[in-house]
Structure 1
Amino acid sequence: MSLPLNIAILGAEDPAAAQEFYAAVLAPKVQDYGGFFRSDLHGAGDLGVTDVSALAAEAGVSAEGSGFGGYIIFYVLEQPSEVVAVVEAAAAAGAEILKPAKKALFGSFSGAFRAPDGAVWKVSCERRKETAAARSPAVPVETGILLGVQDPRASTAFYTALGMEADRDYGAKYIDFTVAAGQLRLGLMQRKGLAKDVGIAPEGSGFGRLVLSHDAASAEEVDAVLSRAEQAGAVITVAPAAQEWGGHVGCFTDPDGIAWKIASA
């Protein structure tokens, strides 16, 4: 059993305004499900935006939270000039620039910003020099969620117990998991290191305004994922059950408090 990360759902005070921001900065393909916005990030994963209170209630957690939410969204592009363009577009649309786009360590190029909804983004390129003409809109090579955890090794054990397979493993410094085409990659870093990387304070508590979601193939898969998660140390926040609309849904929080939604249609 594997656990692809199909969509990262962000909670916002004003979902429509948040979606307008992402439309201006990322130019995704968007579907509006009556206040729940699902954006296709150019075939490199999906991003959801919805009301923060509704999102917390659906995940079975309190909507209260403050400070660092314990994660960043990463957006990997082909060219340094594309990184500059996205960071500048974010600033023009109202983002707080945490780190300007510039040359970084180990031959990379990156910048970071905090979106008006509070989500922190790192935009990067693996090279410092242009190798081709920049695309407009910039199309990501990869997108994903990088979690700031207390113990990367323990978190790795948790996620491998759910069926994920470690890919790049640099011990306690950085670990990520294999990713299929069209999905979001999940990675792990120590919380303090991750916060420092994007220029923010590591302190924070409560709901981080994020729910990670896996689209299960069946109700049986939903039940199996929730069972394995609980055995591995998760807290079940919503017991898996049939829904009025015909689906089957359950939710849990991982050992660091990150909320997950497992749902079948």
Structure 2
Amino acid sequence: MNSIDTVILEVADLPAATRFYTTVLGPDSPHLHLRASDNATTGFRGFALSLVVSQPGNVDALVDAALGAGATALKTASKSLWGYGGVVQAPDGTILKIATAAKKDTGPVTRDFNEFVLLLGVEDVKASKQFYADRGLSVGKSFGSKYVEFASAPGRVKLALYKRRGLAKDVGVSNEGTGSHRLVLSGAAGPCRDLDAFTWEASADAPLTATA
């Protein structure tokens, strides 16, 4: 079963981005790698990172840490029919959705998260689903042309596909955006470039580190 090993964010200010993500995720996150880039980008970059946690208190703790490190609130953490969550935007422009299906706390509050999910906004969910299935990713959940979630091994990054417009609405931003995604995926499915110009590299298994 192929999956994403590492999400590589391309950032304009590498030292600042390193400080932000180590503050929020900790210094030893295996899911994220940072790379310096000055590729032009404006508006919505077509993706979001989702941290799935065990209880509402953990959502608040992560949101507060992100805001304290310089993030901007896009959606204030609140209750909904599906649980509790909020959305912030990191100083480098990356959108972070932090959520839980639980309605109340059942243990000590921490900044731990259970799943690290990459949400890609694509133009054609069915076509992108087939693209990734052809490259060895196994479909875990599928809801027609609206949402697809691929299975992932424990500790790996989970990949999910939304309609681009639907993802933008879900995280509270305009659908408009141009230029680079400033995102590279590392995993066994690479090297390749998908239907929406998201780029994969061969697996590097890199932890959260910075590359100039």
TM-score by length of 1: 0.74
Q: For 1:7 and 1:26, how far apart are their aligned partners in 2?
A: 14
Count residues with an aligned counterpart: 205
**Letter aligned with residue 17 of structure 2:** A
Q: Which has the higher helix share?
A: 1
Q: Tell me the residue number matched to 1:259.
A: 199
2:37 to 48, 52, 72: 52
Q: Tell me, in whole angstroms, the C-alpha distance in 1 between the residues paired with 2:107 and 2:123.
A: 40
Rate the CA distance shift 1:100–1:264 in 2: closer, same or farther, 3 A: closer
Task: Give the one of 44, 48, 59 matched to 1:83.
Answer: 59
Determine if contact 1:73/1:120 at 8 Å carries over to the other structure. Answer: yes
Please state whether the residue corresponding to 2:116 is helix, strand or coil: strand
1:261 is aligned with what amino acid?
E
The SS at the match of 1:6 is: strand
Asked if residue 156 in structure 1 is aligned to residue 129 in structure 2, the reply is yes
Query: Which residue is 1:122 aligned to?
Result: 97
Task: State whether structure 2 residue 76 is matched by structure 1 residue 104.
Answer: no
Kindly indicate whether the alpha-carbon contact (under 8 Å) linking 2:186 and 2:201 is maintained by their aligned counterparts in 1: yes
Structure 1 segments (4+ residues) deviating >2 Å: none
Q: Which residue of 2 aligns with 1:19?
A: 18
> Is residue 189 from structure 1 mapped to residue 162 from structure 2 by the alignment?
yes
CA offset at residue 263 of structure 1?
Answer: 4.4
RMSD: 1.6
Deviation at residue 252 of structure 1 after TM alignment: 2.8
In the superposition, relative to structure 1, how do residues 129 and 165 fare at CA in structure 2: closer, same or farther (>3 Å)?
Answer: same
**2:125, 2:79 → 1: CA distance?**
27
Q: What secondary structure sits across from 1:211 in the alignment?
A: strand
* C-alpha contact 1:66 1:208 (8 A) present in aligned 2: no
Of 138, 146, 149 in structure 2, the residue corresponding to residue 165 of structure 1 is 138
Residue 9 in structure 1 maps to residue 12 in structure 2: no
Determine helix, strand or coil for the equivalent of 1:129.
coil
Identity of aligned residues (%): 38
Aligned amino acid, residue 126 of structure 2: R
Kept in 1, the 8 Å contact 2:73–2:87? The answer is yes
Unaligned runs of 5+ in 2: 206-212
Cα distance in 2 for partners of 1:259, 1:206 equals 14
Cα distance in 2, alignment partners of residues 120 and 68 from structure 1: 9
- 2:18 and 2:33 map into 1 onto residues whose CA distance is 9
CA 1:172/1:5 → structure 2, altered by over 3 Å: closer, same or farther?
same
Measure, in 2, the Cα distance between the counterparts of 1:81 and 1:24: 18
The partner residue of 1:132 within 99, 107, 110 is 107
Structure-1 separation of matches of 2:184 and 2:27? 20
Say which SS state the counterpart of residue 21 (structure 1) adopts: helix
Instruction: State the match for 2:208 in structure 1.
Output: none
Larger Rg: 1
Q: CA deviation at 1:204?
A: 1.2
